[in-house]
Amino acid sequence: MSTMSPSAMPRVFRWSPALALAALLTVAAVTAVLDRGGDRFVRWRDGTVHGPWRAVFDGHGVNGSRGGVISLRPKPATDPAETHAGLVVSQARYGHMDFHVRARTVAQLRDQAPNPWEAAWIVWAYSDEHHFYYFILKPTGWELGKRDPAYRGGQRFLATGERSFAIGRWYRVSVVQRGATMSVRVDGRPVTEFTDAERPYTGGSVGLYTEDAEVEFREISVRPRP
């Protein structure tokens, strides 16, 4: 399916419009434009740092922020064998933590019929592009998984379910990690809990990811736990 793709910090990071503006004004490698509403869109180029975030790659498209919303929009794929992905990750690393974010899939971008996983991904325990956990808000259901090159295809599917997530709608996602055990709630409702008994990732960055879809994230916070 996907081609992509420690200790807790003694503080809480919270993404806000004020923090975004202060950080973005100090970064040279950005492009800023005004939309009709007057909000400032700032492009995040690969490898640049923006407050608590580092832009990893944009999939030949555009990553950036506007009015406290982080947007990822990779280049639309025109071939069934082609995938374009966008990823940003936190500068801070976390062990035990509570991670909260509102996320939505704005549009699936593939020229032909989209794949169900081409949607908003929530990432945590990230150390590099090949080692992290993820949760996907798919229009056909949900998926909890793990990127690990030790598995065939570099990926392990941990849990799936039939609850679907509509394109264009915002969802509140909460991820709790305590050692090898992780749980996910969406809009306050429990979705899944899983304990990884095979080479668990017990710390790393949090991240925001997409494949062949325009996605947005806002109201992001991470709280380290003892």
The tens digit of pLDDT for each residue in 114-139 reads: 999 999 999 999 999 999 999 999 99
> Is 50 in contact with 24 (CB distance < 8 Å)?
yes
Q: How high is the pLDDT of residue 39?
A: 76
- pLDDT tens by residue, 127-180: 999 999 999 999 999 999 999 999 999 999 999 999 999 999 999 999 999 999
CB 192 within 8 A of CB 184: yes
* Ordered domains of the chain (ranges, CATH): 13-224 (2.60.120.560)
Neighbours of 22 (CB within 10 A): 11
Q: Closest Cα to residue 171, out of 116, 100, 223, 75?
A: 100
What's the start-to-end Cα distance of the chain, in Å? 35
For 27-65, how does the pLDDT look when each residue is reduced to its tens digit (9 = 90+)?
333 344 444 455 799 999 999 999 999 999 999 999 999
| Tokens representing residue 192 in the block | 């899944």
Q: Which residue has the tokens 């806002």?
A: 218
Q: Which of 46, 91, 103 is nearest to 206 (CA)?
A: 91
